[in-house]
Chain A
Amino acid sequence: MLDQILQFVLTGITVGATYALVALGFSIIYNASDVVNFAQGEFVMIGAMSAIAMSAGENGLSPFLALPLAILLTIGVGIMLQRFAIAPAKGASVVTTIIITIGASIFLRGVALLLWGKDIFALPHFSGEQPIHIGNATLLPQNLWVMGGAALLVIGVHWFFNHTHQGKAILACSCNRTAAQLVGINVGKMMMIAYGLSAFLGAMAGLLVTPITFTSYDAGVMLGLKGFSAAILGGFGNPMGAVAGGVLLGLIESLSAGLISSGYKDAIGFIILLLVLFFRPSGLFGKATAERV
């Protein structure tokens, strides 16, 4: 039993690490532009799918070329999303921006469907498939890649926001755009960086996890929803809260799939999220904002 639980925890952390990266992307874009980007999951799909497409076949590129190109492509998509869909709708309401980003996600999915069809694809494991035993639980090397990669990325993002000029400038934009502009911050450029960074995180999540979970043109949908849930669970707009929310959600799902019912694992995740919101309306690590009149 204990071994089983250890196994569920290890799986949960792997899945949770992916959610965490997606949630972090949600959080960054929300902080920079007040937008809930429902196309966040599509970044994951595009990263993975394009890497697979580029490295496929006889004349396929070497992975050392295909992966970086896939990442660059995804970043490009992220920046274009901001440039052509978000920026023109300046001043739009919460619902309107939600629909725009959902439109964008449907669009991206449509493009993927057109290019790659409905098949399911996988990337090769980065360093073999020799299982590693921890007690009676097993782990694939790729699981370690996912956990380690995600951890490094999270630390990197944390460092970026706290120790670089650009990172701090993005935070300033999120506090007050007009004031940021007044002190000479190029808000447009900061938006590009924020969307690019989110897309980068999405692509990385896709590349890291696809050897285990596979991908298809519509793989981004559920990931996007999970990422949003994780970000809300942690307290929306709090990047490290989003990461914690992601890992937590992964654990909850994996444990409930193993111990309760795999069919209902997604439902249990959402139920716990609802319960958290009922008792903490601003998420686990969100600041409760008292209404001032």
Chain B
Amino acid sequence: MTTMKLLEVEELTKSFGGVTAIAGLSFDVPPGNVYSVIGPNGAGKTTLFNMLSGIYQPDEGAIRFQSNDIVGIQPHQVAALGVSRTFQNLQMFFNMSVLDNVMVGCHLRTRTGLLSAALRLPGVKREERESREWARQALAMCSLDRYIGHEAGSLPYGVLKRLEIARALAVQPKLLLMDEPAAGLNDTETMEMQALIRRICEAGITVLLVEHNMGLVMQVSDRILVLDYGSRLAEGTPTEIQKDRKVVEAYLGGEVKYAM
């Protein structure tokens, strides 16, 4: 059975002072899926991502990735296990070019240390070439080829959203956490984003998606987890979720138009 779960979350709890952001939450993500987490503002989605990626430590509970317990380890160690992510608020390296941004994503796939870099030992050049090639591939996957020479700081928001994904893909993750990839995008850009999420999933990467755009969520997800005040309101396939009484009630007043 455990082989059927890429990520297991058990009784996870996190509070900030008086606010309980995540309260005893449990769920499993099977490999190969697009698994979405939805919920109103402040439901605790980003907090969940921050714990899954090692940025925050949970107060209680367990997180297992491919049966490894990842609670208490540093984000870079989580990344080394094969988890990558994007951020709700862009965390771009604005001081670097587009290509360099994505080449940073190749960090774990290369070995050059400070000393060999300083002396430009023979292996360095080869690794640089490889990284550049991998970065190009990731950029191509996100249709960003034409921005390759640009400075990250000069790009429009929609492009940066995809650049963050390209950078995360360069890590070659097994699990990709995407925090609101379509936020702030126009309709065309949202369609592109939807297609990109599909492509990522088809490439064999499991996607954990947080998104407020219900149309997109219903279209791309295999399963959906609905959060409310940090705990599970419902879980199931898009069809099940749309029929769920509690979900409809919780969203009452908000326009829940499922563009199917």
Q: Do A and B touch, yes or no (CB under 8 Å, in the complex)? A: yes
- Residues of the A chain whose Cβ atoms lie less than 8 Å from the Cβ of B50: 293
- Residues of the B chain whose Cβ atoms lie less than 8 Å from the Cβ of A293: 46, 50, 55, 87-89, 91
Q: Least Cβ distance of A91 to chain B in Å?
A: 15
Binary flags per residue of A281-293, CB closer than 8 Å to B gives 1, else 0: 0000000001001
Binary flags per residue of A76-107, CB closer than 8 Å to B gives 1, else 0: 00000000000000000000000000000000
Residue in A closest to B55 when the chains form the complex, CB atoms: A293
- Residues of the A chain whose Cβ atoms lie less than 8 Å from the Cβ of B16: 290
Q: Which of A253-293 contact B (CB under 8 A)?
A: 290, 293
Q: Least Cβ distance of B205 to chain A in Å?
A: 21
- Residues of the B chain whose Cβ atoms lie less than 8 Å from the Cβ of A290: 16
CA distance A290 to B50 in the complex (A): 13
Chain A interface mostly helix, strand, loop or mixed? loop
CA distance A293 to B87 in the complex (A): 7
Binary flags per residue of B96-123, CB closer than 8 Å to A gives 1, else 0: 0000000000000000000000000000
A-B CB contacts (within 8 Å), total count: 8
Q: Least Cβ distance of B74 to chain A in Å?
A: 14
Q: Least Cβ distance of B190 to chain A in Å?
A: 23
Binary flags per residue of A109-132, CB closer than 8 Å to B gives 1, else 0: 000000000000000000000000
CA distance A290 to B89 in the complex (A): 16
Q: Least Cβ distance of A125 to chain B in Å?
A: 52
Binary flags per residue of B54-90, CB closer than 8 Å to A gives 1, else 0: 0100000000000000000000000000000001110
CA distance A225 to B60 in the complex (A): 44
Residue in B closest to A291 when the chains form the complex, CB atoms: B55
CA distance A258 to B50 in the complex (A): 51
CA distance A290 to B14 in the complex (A): 14
CA distance A285 to B50 in the complex (A): 28
CA distance A293 to B50 in the complex (A): 8
Q: Least Cβ distance of A163 to chain B in Å?
A: 29
Q: Which of A132-181 contact B (CB under 8 A)?
A: none
CA distance A190 to B88 in the complex (A): 35
Q: Least Cβ distance of A72 to chain B in Å?
A: 45
CA distance A290 to B21 in the complex (A): 15
- Residues of the A chain whose Cβ atoms lie less than 8 Å from the Cβ of B87: 293
Q: Least Cβ distance of B86 to chain A in Å?
A: 11
CA distance A290 to B56 in the complex (A): 10
CA distance A190 to B165 in the complex (A): 44
CA distance A293 to B91 in the complex (A): 8
CA distance A290 to B16 in the complex (A): 10
Q: Least Cβ distance of A287 to chain B in Å?
A: 12
Residue in A closest to B89 when the chains form the complex, CB atoms: A293
CA distance A290 to B55 in the complex (A): 11
Q: Which 4 A-B pairs have the closest CB atoms?
A: A293-B87, A293-B55, A293-B91, A293-B50
A-B contact pairs, 8 of them (CB 8 A): A290-B16, A293-B46, A293-B50, A293-B55, A293-B87, A293-B88, A293-B89, A293-B91
